Chains A and B, each alone.
Chain A
Amino acid sequence: MAAPALRLEPAPPVLEARRLTLDYATDRGPVRAVEAVDLSVDAGERLVLLGPSGCGKSSILKALAGFLPATSGTILVRGRPVSGPGPDRIVVFQEFDQLLPWKTVRDNVAFPLRVARKVSRAEARDRAEAALARVGLTRALDAFPHALSGGMKQRAAIARALATEPDVLLMDEPFAALDALTRRQLQEDLLALAEELRFTLVFVTHAIDEAVLIGTRLHLLSPHPGRTLAMRDTAHLGLAEVGSAAFEELTREVHTLLFGSTRGHV
């Protein structure tokens, strides 16, 4: 028997911002941080917001998370407008103190499952352990966060975000405070997890090479106020292409777009 014909509309993007404008209140009145930025992220995409300081990339992420109210414009998750924070968009912050110090690593990961997903205690525990195993933290299950190194804390935060299975992961320069070796290791591990789990990600960074490596698409922003500068597709550039001519070429091009100079790149 033939299935009844459904009128299939294209699925809405997982996350979408339309004409997003953000102001900051200061002593001398409101200051525009972001002006009329459009963006949309489809399932499995990794959108990187990239720009120099003052381009409002972190503000955009805060607005997407629902922490910062939009002056104008709308934010939609799977076509539904959102106004406040919610566990459909889990944030991984740059700060190491994002793990709750009074909970063990395992309980930190289980916590959002308990409060936001209403999962039973035993199931939350199992899922937390599985998520921590994914990021290589099985040995630290019962440790309190203060005993962990910076890299391990960020791993635990990523595990916590993954375990919650949000519609979209939001990462705000999660590796910026790490040393170079640890940062590279975590970038590689994040890419491996993305390959495996196909999560949808919005990633904020100011490092061009990190942006090209992590993202499937780049969203370049210009500063004061933050405006869309350009978009670039980087899905074809991954770990294997690091150091290749195409990778270097794109890095140089992005640097020129952002800083207007061809000399070197960061």
Chain B
Amino acid sequence: MSELDLANAPADVRPLPPARPPFSLSKLWRNTGVRRLVILAALAAIWQGAALWQDNPLLFPTFTDTVSAFVEATRSEGMLWSALASLTVLLKGYAIAVALALVLVSGAVAIPVLRDVLQTLTAMFNPLPAIALLPLAMMWLGLGESALLLVLVHAVLWPFALAALSGFDQVPETQRLVGRNYGLRGPAYVAQILLPAALPSILSGLKIGWAFAWRTLIAAELVFGVSSSQGGLGWFIYRNRNELLTDRVFAGLATVILIGLVVEMVLFRVIERRTVVRWGLQR
């Protein structure tokens, strides 16, 4: 069958660059990972220089001191266990909030009144920083995991619901009709048509929710630990500040940054590549 419109070649196929020697610097520089590493190394060098010049390890430890404090805290202080405790609480709150938001948004899609309710609630609660709820959460639920969970759910629920709702609203009319044509209704329709079609917005909502949750949790843990037995990462930072172990405070902060980066740059990037980028919904 003759097919005149078989422009089937992927758009990203470009002519090969001219042959180069295998280990060229400029070729290496074009790798994003390499560039980032070089920038990070430069920042570390500036840090080291500034700290040596300041010569005040109590307030501003050097890079190398921070690295050794990181290693030591990991070995003897169980810093990674603290991080794990933080992440466990975070994932619980995150999962509750995402599930709740999806239920709310599905309802809002189906029932016009619920849409108004959800939009009013998001407009009200979105500007309210989650950490501002912590005093109230502590009064209601005491110093414990449930108070943290309340704050976390608040941090994730509204921005994620907003993103998911706008994603559902943007699903092309034709794809909705296709789903209805096959007799899909209710939860099956949401799961098989709306959710995948809205995935770009949902993923970006998940990313925003993750960033909010991580910041909120660390901030909340600065006030009290996750539980009596195992404090979280924020608590680790707070404890070491009280003992003036500034290099460990820096190590704790670095861990917060590292975990944030890994989730954002590795986990979400991989999910995006496997889904929305692969489907041509996002570049």
Chain A interface residues (CB < 8 Å from chain B): 65-67, 84-87, 89-91, 93, 95, 97-98, 100-102, 111-112, 115-116, 136, 139-140, 143-152, 179, 181-182, 185, 189
Q: Is B20 an interface residue (CB 8 A)?
A: no
CA separation between A150 and B197, bound complex, in Å? 20
* 22 CB-based A-B contacts, threshold 8 Å: A84-B180, A85-B180, A87-B183, A91-B177, A91-B178, A95-B172, A97-B174, A98-B178, A101-B280, A102-B196, A102-B199, A102-B275, A112-B182, A115-B184, A115-B188, A140-B8, A146-B281, A147-B8, A150-B5, A151-B3, A182-B4, A182-B5
How far is B8's CA from A152's CA once the two chains are assembled, in angstroms? 10
Is residue B15 contacting chain A, with contact meaning CB distance below 8 A? no
Q: Mark B1-23, 1 if CB is under 8 A from A, else 0.
A: 11111111010000000000000
Binary per-residue interface labels of chain B (111-135) against chain A in the complex, 1 for a CB within 8 Å, 0 otherwise: 0000000000000000000000000
The count of residues in chain B whose C-beta lies closer than 8 Å to any C-beta of chain A is 30
Q: Roughly how many angstroms separate A26 CA and B279 CA in the complex, as a whole number?
A: 36
Bound form: Cα–Cα A90–B182 in Å: 8
Question: How far is the CB of B11 from the nearest CB of chain A, in Å?
Answer: 9
List the B residue with the shortest CB-CB distance to A65: B181
Among A86, A95, A143, A152, the residue within 8 A (CB) of B3 is A152
Q: Is the CB of A86 within 8 A of B8?
A: no
CA distance A97 to B184 in the complex (A): 18
Q: Are B3 and A102 in contact (CB under 8 A)?
A: no
Which of B4, B10, B172, B182 gathers the greatest number of chain A CB atoms within 10 Å? Answer: B182
Min distance, Cβ B94 to any Cβ of chain A, angstroms: 23
Enumerate chain B interface residues (CB-CB to A < 8 A): 1-8, 10, 172, 174-175, 177-178, 180-184, 188, 192-193, 196-197, 199, 275, 278-281
**Given contacts A67-B177, A87-B181, A149 and B6 within 8 Å (CB-CB):** yes
The reply to whether B174 and A87 contact each other, CB–CB distance below 8 Å, is no
Instruction: Report whether A146 and B280 are in contact in the complex, using a CB–CB cutoff of 8 Å.
Output: yes
> Chain A residues with Cβ under 8 A from B182's Cβ?
87, 111-112, 115-116
Closest to A148 in B: B8
Complex: A145 Cα to B3 Cα, angstroms: 16
**B5 A152 Cβ-Cβ under 8 A:** yes
Check A97–B172 contact: CB distance below 8 A: yes
**CB of A204 to closest CB in B, whole Å:** 14
Residues of chain A within 8 A of B180, CB atoms compared? 66-67, 84-85
CB distance from B203 to the nearest CB of A (A): 12
Minimum-distance CB pairs A-B, first 7: A146-B280, A149-B5, A136-B1, A102-B196, A151-B5, A95-B174, A116-B182
Determine which of B183, B188, B199, B280 lies in contact with A85 in the assembled complex, contact meaning CB atoms within 8 Å. Answer: B183
Could you tell me the distance between the alpha carbons of A45 and B8 in the complex, rounded to whole angstroms?
35
Q: What B residues does A149 contact at CB under 8 A?
A: 5-8
Q: Is the CB of B197 within 8 A of A86?
A: no
Separation of A151 and B7 alpha carbons in the complex (Å): 11
- Measured between C-beta atoms, what is the minimum distance from A189 to chain B in Å? 7
